[in-house]
Structure 1
Amino acid sequence: MVNTLKDKLQNLAGQQSSIVDSLDPVVKNRVVVLQEIQAQYNEVEKKFLEEKAALEARYQKLYEPFYSKRFEIVNGIKDVEGLPEETGKADASVEHKEEAVKGVPDFWLNAMKANDILAFQITQRDEEALKYLKDIRWSKMEEPKGFKLEFLFDTNPFFKNTLLTKEYHMIEEEEPVLERAVGTEIEWNAGKNLTQKLMRKKVKKGAKNVKPITKTEPCESFFNFFAPPRVPDDDEEIDHDKAEELQDIMEQDYAIGSTIRDKIIPRAVSWYTGELEDTEIYEDADESGDLGDEEEDDDDDEGGSDSDDAK
């Protein structure tokens, strides 16, 4: 995939060279000077990006105490002190009722659902599992270059993992290029895989004492985020159309990851309260649940209760 992208860039550079060569000599000289100016600009921009990266790293450390305090409050580890006077009065009447509530329930679930890009990824079945999400963190990676997202979960009935990660490996040239994404393999508990649904094949009318045929099928789920498409080591393994399709999927996946990193994590409470409204619409939002005439979606699926066959 990376080589395919490089080939496209090289072809583009060749086209640009032929354009310059075809110009009138006087105009060509002017364009050459403009290219030299652009090269000087690029050098300054390179220094800017280096200083920007250093500044971001410095401030990322300054943000950490705020994230730690948020984690403690959201998860009920530490209660708040010094509430504003109006808030204290308003909450006095429900003080005893709220004593049993720990932290801020469903904080990360509701924060993510407020964002259009992420809301499209979260199914109703996913919500129960995401209620156990305690924190989302991100960190920069140096080797390989890129960044890592960490999703910290409480013990839950869906999977054994308490930490799910997603890494984005980047190639830094003139602009960062996504090389591949790597996610944690989720250890699903029996009958709780949210990325699969149990399908029951329709039985012909009049048939008696025939046991329904069932099989599992992949389905839409936020947790597919942790199983990104594999990038072939050899670009010759896939044709041009499949390469473009894979590139589109990778770009969409990166959009989700960068949204979590750049929007959700820094301003989670503003998403939770609805102060931030996302007007971005996820591209290719084609929700097609048609499985054909021969099969139907079983009400009891792999992510929910046991199937009828177990009764």
Structure 2
Amino acid sequence: MDKNDNVQAPPATGESSVADTQSTAAATSTPATALATPGFLQNVQQRLESMGDDLDLGALLAGSLPAEVVRRVNALRNIQVEHHKIEANFFEEVHALECRYLSKYKPLYEKRLNIVKGAYEPTDAEAKCAFDEDEADEEAKKAAEAGEKSDEKKKDEEKAVGIPEFWLQVFKNSDALSELIKEHDEPVLKHLIDVRLAMQDDAQYKGFTIEFEFTSNEYFSNTILTKSYELRTGPDETEPLSYEGPEIIKSKGCEIQWNKGKNITIKMVKKRQKHKSRGTIRVVTKEVQTESFFNFFTPPTVPEDADADLEDNEELQSLAADFEIGHMLRDSIVPKAVLYYTGEAGDEDDGEFDEDEDDEDDDDDDEDEDPEEDEDEGHHHHHHGGGKGGHHHGGGGGKHGPPGGSQGKPKGGKHGSAGGANGAGQQPECKQQ
């Protein structure tokens, strides 16, 4: 029985349904007298906890409570559903508010972009942090004592344009993103000059898009890469009582237009194949997928089996990690990029990214011996480890909660407001997958 189905009262047969841990007298009592049994409700709670995911709430209550109490419990559950509907309206209004505030953030993010890429030089007043005056004075004294700057340092400062490798450093200072960045990703990410947000809020679609802007480079022809996330703000109709706030339900990447020979998400490996009958050996070259940050733009798909076990399903684990990274970019990394750059901020929910221990030895040998019939072997797909799929957002991404309501953060932790702006959108973007 589904845990959200109405609970049916037991037939009035008077047979026992009380747990074995109760006394003999209580075990043979009727449901009406069971309520008066010392420790009865505590025992029911223990049974609820022990049953876990196998919980059959209807059978448990029907076998433990009088019919009139079961009816009242069902009425309370229906009230809870109505509460969730009102709560969903609250979150929808918060999401709409965040969308409106993007216009206020936009000038700030545009100025940040111009400083990073060297298109704007901040004034002395803009570059002075009043809250760091004591520290700045101390640095000035040290500089004066050291005398004039060396000629080499002066030359370096003259060469520097904007803030070189700003976003690469931001990503490397995030535990979650640094795990995705491989050595061959860094030369490409040095061309990343902006990461911004666009929010969608209409009757048919609610969500957000993360836009990654790159300077012209030798690796791909795209100027902007995108990653979109779709939100569900209301309860799931099939499980309304499990509602915990807005959640990401789907993500969509884009097609990267790699230049010939520059696709860092794949590598060519040589395979030795032995003919079954003749015993001859030939060497073939195959294309296999390798680990890369840019696999982020080819997200995993939602598995058809919604009841699949997370621990046994790599697709679910990859999907959960993808959703979590999208949330972190939206709510923390993009709004507080400079604090990640300086190391003053870190991932708010490091606990959501468990370290995986791999006991298997790494195999760096690119030559394997395969049976000849395996020549058309499929590509290997990179998976991101992570938590549970269907990522929940408190207050549609903000640290908000309705009066007396849930902030909806059991899987997603704290959710700062989404401070992004659409920014410049004239450049050619990559195609959505």
Question: In the aligned structure 2, how far is the partner of 1:81 from the partner of 1:239?
Answer: 57
Match of 1:3 in 2: none
Residue in 2 that maps onto 1:115: 174
Pairing of 1:276-295 with structure 2 (within 5 A): 276-278=345-347, 280=350, 282-283=353-354, 285=356, 289-290=362-363, 294-295=367-368
Aligned match of 1:79: 121
- Which letter maps to 1:116? D
Bigger drift between 275-284 and 248-257 goes to 275-284
1:20–1:31 contact (8 Å) kept in structure 2: no
C-alpha contact 2:88 2:233 (8 A) present in aligned 1: no
| TM-score, with structure 2 as normaliser | 0.56
Distance 1:239 1:176 in 2: 20
SS at match of 1:155: coil
Considering only CA atoms, is the larger Rg found in Structure 1 or Structure 2? 2
> Match of 2:109?
67
Aligned residue in 2 for 1:246: 315
**Matched residue of 1:105: which SS?**
coil
Instruction: Indicate conservation of the 8 Å contact 1:160/1:189, yes or no.
Output: yes
| Distance of 1:21 and 1:118 partners within structure 2 | 49
Residues 1:249 and 1:284: Cα distance change in structure 2 (over 3 Å): farther
- 1:113 and 1:77 map into 2 onto residues whose CA distance is 24
Distance 1:47 1:80 in 2: 43
Q: Secondary structure of 1:197's partner?
A: strand
For 1:230 and 1:47, the matched residues in 2 are separated by 28
* 1:104-126 deviation per Cα after TM superposition (whole angstroms, max 9, x unaligned): 11111110111111111110110
Q: Does 1:129 align with 2:188?
A: yes
Percent sequence identity is 37
Given the alignment of the two structures, is residue 141 of structure 1 paired with residue 239 of structure 2, yes or no? no
Q: Counterparts of 2:364 and 2:3 in 1: how far apart (Å)? A: 42
How far off its partner does 1:12 sit?
Answer: 3.6
Query: Equivalent residue of 1:54, what SS?
Result: helix
Residues 277 and 173 (structure 1), Cα distance of their counterparts in 2 relative to 1, 3 Å cut: closer
> Could you give the per-residue CA deviations for residues 127-176 of structure 1, whole angstroms, max 9, x where no partner exists?
11000001011112235322111100001111111110111233443144
Cross-structure match for 2:217: 156
* Superimposed CA distance per residue, residues 233-272 of structure 1 (whole angstroms, 9 cap, x where no aligned partner): xx48x99579944333211111111111111101001101
> Unpaired runs of 5+ in structure 1?
1-9, 204-209, 297-311
Q: Which amino acid aligns with 2:269?
A: M
Letter paired with 2:2: N
Q: Is the 8 A contact 2:117 2:193 kept in 1?
A: yes
Give the whole-Å Cα distance in 1 for the aligned partners of 2:118 and 2:288: 38
Deviates more, 1:181-190 or 1:21-30: 21-30
Distance, in Å, in 1 between the alignment partners of 2:88 and 2:282 is 67
Q: CA deviation at 1:43?
A: 4.4
Q: CA deviation at 1:52?
A: 1.8
Could you tell me how far 1:30 is from its partner in structure 2? Answer: 4.6
- Secondary structure of the residue that 1:11 maps to in structure 2? coil
Query: Is 1:261 matched up with 2:324?
Result: no
Classify 1:145/1:40 alpha carbon distance in 2 versus 1 (closer, same or farther; 3 Å): closer
**For residue 122 of structure 1, what is the amino acid of its counterpart?**
I
Distance between the aligned counterparts of 2:119 and 2:95, measured in 1? 33
Confirm or deny: 8 A CA contact 2:233 2:246 kept in the other structure.
yes
Letter paired with 2:205:
P
> Given that residues 111 and 271 in structure 1 are in contact (C-alpha distance below 8 angstroms), is that contact kept between their aligned partners in structure 2?
yes
Match of 1:197 among 267, 285, 292: 267
Q: 2:342 aligns with which of 256, 273, 280?
A: 273
The separation in 1 between residues aligned to 2:81 and 2:72, in whole angstroms, is 14
1:13 is paired with a residue whose SS is: coil
- The amino acid of 2:172's aligned partner reads K
Structure 2: state its 5+ residue gaps. Answer: 6-55, 236-244, 274-280, 370-433
The answer to whether the Cα contact below 8 Å between 2:170 and 2:337 also exists between their aligned partners in 1 is yes
Say which SS state the counterpart of residue 99 (structure 1) adopts.
Answer: helix
Name the residue aligned to 1:309. none
Q: What is the Cα deviation at residue 24 of structure 1?
A: 2.1
Moved more, 162-171 or 84-93: 84-93
For 1:257 and 1:48, locate their aligned partners in 2 and report how far apart those are by CA, in whole Å.
Answer: 22
Alpha-carbon separation, structure 2, partners of 1:173 and 1:290: 46
Of 48, 72, 76, the residue aligned with 2:90 is: 48
Give me the whole-angstrom Cα distance separating, in 1, the residues matched to 2:284 and 2:314: 33
Q: Calculate the aligned-residue CA RMSD, in Å.
A: 3.5
Q: Over residues 49-90 of structure 1, what are the superposed CA-to-partner deviations in whole Å (9 max), with x where a residue is unaligned?
A: 233223322332221111111101011010111233848955
CA distance in 2, matches of 1:189, 1:286: 35
Match of 2:4 in 1: 13
Residue identity in the other structure for 1:229: P
The one of 192, 203, 218 equivalent to 2:289 is 218
Go from structure 1 to structure 2 and tell me whether the alpha carbon gap of 1:258 and 1:19 turns closer, same or farther (over 3 Å shift). Answer: same
Amino acid paired to 1:138: L
TM-superposed CA distance for 1:48, in Å, is: 2.4
Richer in helix (by share): 1
